Amino acid sequence: MKKQESVAVDEYVLTLFVTGASPNSVRAIANIKRICELYLAGNYNLEIIDVYQQPLLAEKQQLIALPMLLKSSPLPQTRLIGDMSDTQKVLKGLGKNNETTDGIEENL
C-alpha cells in the first residue's frame, strides 16, 4: 500500500509556472522565494515548473499567461500572474491580507 503525503492544515501549497530562464521568470522565482521565506517561513511547499520542460502540466492547468503562481492550499485556490514583485498584492492573493511589509526591507 502506498503511503500518501499529508499536508499540514494551514500549509501553503504553491506552484510557480515559468518559461525557462526568461527575465520575468527569474524575477518571479526570486520574488516568490523571498516572500515565502519572509511571510510563510516553514509553512509552505513551493514547486517551480518550467512549462518548456513540462508542457503537459501547463496544458492541464490551462495557463493563459506566465509566470503564474497557483495557490492550491489553503482554499480558495487562487492564481497570480506576473513577476511577483508587488509584495502586498502577492500577500493579498495568498490570503495574508493582514500582513504588512512595514519594517521589512524590499529589494526589488
Residue 59 lies in a domain: yes
CATH code at position 6: 3.40.30.10
Whole-number Å distance between alpha carbons of 8 and 40: 13
Residue 105 lies in a domain: no
Domain of residue 8, residue span: 2-96
Q: Give the HSE-up count for residue 2: Cα atoms under 13 Å, Cβ half-sphere.
A: 2
85: phi then psi, degrees, rounded to nearest 5? -80, -20
Question: pLDDT over 70 for what percent of the chain?
Answer: 81
- Reported as a single tens digit per residue, the pLDDT across 49-89 is 999 999 888 888 888 889 999 999 999 999 999 999 999 99
C-alpha cell at 106: 524590499
Overall domain count for the chain: 1
Residue 102 lies in a domain: no
H or E segment and range at residue 69: strand 68-73
